[in-house]
Amino acid sequence: MLKFYFHQTPNPMKVALFLEETGLPYELVAVDTLKGEQHTPEYRAINPNGKTPALEDDGKRVFDSTAILMYLSEKTGKLAGQPEDRSEMLSWLMFVATGLGPYSGQSVHFRHKAPEKIPYAINRYLREAERHYEVLETHLEGREYMVGDSYSIADISTWGWIDKATVVLGEGGLDNYPNLKRWFDSIDARPAVQKARDIPETIDFKTEFDDVAARALYPQNFDKNS
Ligand SMILES: N[C@@H](CCC(=O)N[C@@H](CS)C(=O)NCC(=O)O)C(=O)O
């Protein structure tokens, strides 16, 4: 059976949504990143990058949410999009993996988490996140789905981050992005989304952002030997 290494954060949530959409049986393994469980040698053997999500399938490991979505859609033939849309599929998956995701993550970090408020960094990452939202807004004009005419892993991947719009951009969230909002609302209404959102409810993840959590998530702020 698939083993799915999970935390309640955007990249693992994409994989949770794929699994709930397809009904593939899986065993959930919680990785409490605020406790530093992503850094254990056992977990690094599955994901050498020390992040969530990761997957084990019959002795094989797959790490990185985009790799996992591609792996599972190729393995099952589900939510893979049409062969003639492959170029679009790859392009949008990489747009999320290398652009929307990282810039959104850094925007959240500098707005909400960084120990110092650095206006240059806050502005840089917010504006880049907004620029990616604008690209999506234009792309989704008159479109129901990210790629082609069907729901696919491109929608799942994009949903994972757009779900955090208010944390990334501020209270207004998707107010300035009507096409993106229409698309998001239609994806977010899918029954599998609620099932994916229910997964963390069954797990007692650490929520306290104390010294242990800060060292686990932002080790660069601490002396390597302290
Ligand atoms: N490119 C990776 C990024 C994974 C990632 O950044 N995961 C976050 C949760 S969304 C994480 O595990 N953070 C814990 C940490 O940074 O120690 C992917 O798409 O899976």
Closest to 97 measured CA to CA, from 9, 146, 17, 158 = 158
Instruction: Spell out the residues 6+ positions from residue 203 whose beta carbon is closer than 8 angstroms to its own.
Output: 6, 8, 28, 30
Q: Ligand 1 pocket, 217 CB below 6 A?
A: yes
Task: Return the best residue to mutate from 17, 40, 52, 69 for the ligand 1 pocket (most ligand atoms within 8 A of CB).
Answer: 52
43-70 b/e (C-beta count within 10 Å ≥ 16 → b): beebbeebbbbbbbbeeeebbbbbebbb
CA-closest residue to ligand 1 atom 20: 64
Q: Ligand 1 pocket, 144 CB below 6 A?
A: no
Q: Ligand 1 pocket, 10 CB below 6 A?
A: yes
* pLDDT digit string (tens) for the chain, length 226 residues: 999 999 999 999 999 999 999 999 999 999 999 999 999 999 999 999 999 999 999 999 999 999 999 999 999 999 999 999 999 999 999 999 999 999 999 999 999 999 999 999 999 999 999 999 999 999 999 999 999 999 999 999 999 999 999 999 999 999 999 999 999 999 999 999 999 999 999 999 999 999 999 999 999 999 887 7
Asked whether the whole model's pTM tops 0.95, one would answer: yes
Q: Which two tokens stand for residue 87?
A: 């170029």
Entry field: residues in the chain: 226
The long-range contacts involving 207-212, CB below 8 angstroms and separated by at least 24 positions, are: 207/34, 208/34, 209/34, 212/34, 212/35, 212/36
Task: Return the best residue to mutate from 39, 49, 51, 161 for the ligand 1 pocket (most ligand atoms within 8 A of CB).
Answer: 51
| Cα(219) to centroid(ligand 1), Å | 14
Strand ranges of the sheet holding 54-57, from the earlier edge strand across to the other edge: 26-30, 2-6, 54-57, 60-63
